[in-house]
Structure 1
């Protein structure tokens, strides 16, 4: 379950921010920021995520919500690092901010993608340059083990020239250069020196709010 899905369930059940603040021991401002839908929102920590899920499973009764992480959910989900900024599909972010995690299904990471939590990072997309492949607001699960553009395609990268994270299509060229281009044809492709660009990994799964 993604943060968007969790927040949608909170909205559907009419859970108030004041109830969550009491449950989690947080200020109302932090709860409000976590329930935002734009790129400035605060991410729920994995511990907060588990406690909210248990709170919902107890039919929204704070007294019945366990103080410790719910063991069933803890076994089904694992914490994955979230890049502490958006990754622009156009112009990106610089990665500044507190390190956070989000819960991902253990079965997806281990059984489908044959990896562990540390093999992946989650990034948030801003902009339209990768449409129709990825849209503004999408959350991408990036496999850090796959960093070779020998098979061209979309990658999360650190653009050293502009000192920011972006998501672009990458194609390897002769002479140690890379062709970096958007899926949206209104954006101009570019050629960069591979030493100036650090490939973080290849997106393998994404979540989208409907």
Structure 2
């Protein structure tokens, strides 16, 4: 069962990197009855078997970071293979049977209802921070959610997976958030995605005279002061999804 903030079933769409968008990349992505992540796992395992290579070797040959391939191979991916990743694999292994798109699939009409949004390659910590290392990834969000509900531009949004407990009860381990990267001014205190010099984190930020107070929602974590020189505010969360 999925619990979402406000009224859009966001987690299903964040998880679903749209069969329509990837239909030109692989016949494996059209397998009926499979989730998108399962389709990616099937594709990568078939490609490794065909090429006679380990997932890490496959990634290296295609100029990708190892986790881009090892995560879907092991069934541990949290987002779909991006179109640039598929294109690199196709260019490196053109002899593989990539298949053909289904002839009656309404690709253009379906894509008009969605917009592409960037995904932070790793996670943002609520405790220790994520590094952000990895290949650029994207996901699809409903155009109505982005334009009408969030009143944002797709290029200004960033999807981030969260880990840790320092922001409970506001955010929990495993939550996914959508951050508006244009909203970086903590004149109105609240949660923000930050780069704190060591990693990506989500913390509450409050502007004080000459400094910023950085603090967790969970009282067991200590707060700290910053002059703003050692941190970068990436944006304010405007949406989240949570799985029960």
Segments of 5+ residues of structure 2 without an aligned counterpart are 1-12, 19-32, 50-54, 56-67, 85-98
Aligned to 1:201: 235
One of 8, 14, 33 as aligned partner of 1:2: 14
One of 77, 81, 84 as aligned partner of 1:45: 81
The answer to whether the 8 A contact 1:154-1:202 is kept is yes
One of 71, 80, 90 as aligned partner of 1:33: 71
Matched, 1:138 2:159: no
The answer to whether the 8 A contact 2:175-2:240 is kept is yes
Q: Given the superposition, is the C-alpha separation of residues 27 and 70 from structure 1 closer, same or farther in structure 2, using an over 3 Å criterion?
A: farther
Aligned to 2:112: 75
Aligned to 2:218: 184
SS in 2 for 1:108: helix
Matched, 1:21 2:42: yes
- How far apart are 1:79 and its partner, in Å? 1.0
Q: Which has the higher contact order (CA 8 A, sep 6+)?
A: 2
- How far apart are 1:118 and its partner, in Å? 0.4
- How far apart are 1:23 and its partner, in Å? 10
Give the root-mean-square deviation of aligned CA atoms: 3.4
Segments of 5+ residues of structure 1 without an aligned counterpart are 7-12, 49-61
Q: TM-score scaled to structure 2, two decimals? A: 0.65
- How far apart are 1:116 and its partner, in Å? 1.4
Residues 22-62 of structure 1: CA deviation (Å, up to 9, x unaligned): 5997558678834978xx625203559xxxxxxxxxxxxx9
SS in 1 for 2:146: helix
Give the Cα–Cα distance (whole angstroms) in 2 for the partners of residues 69 and 47 of structure 1. 18
Q: TM-score scaled to structure 1, two decimals? A: 0.75
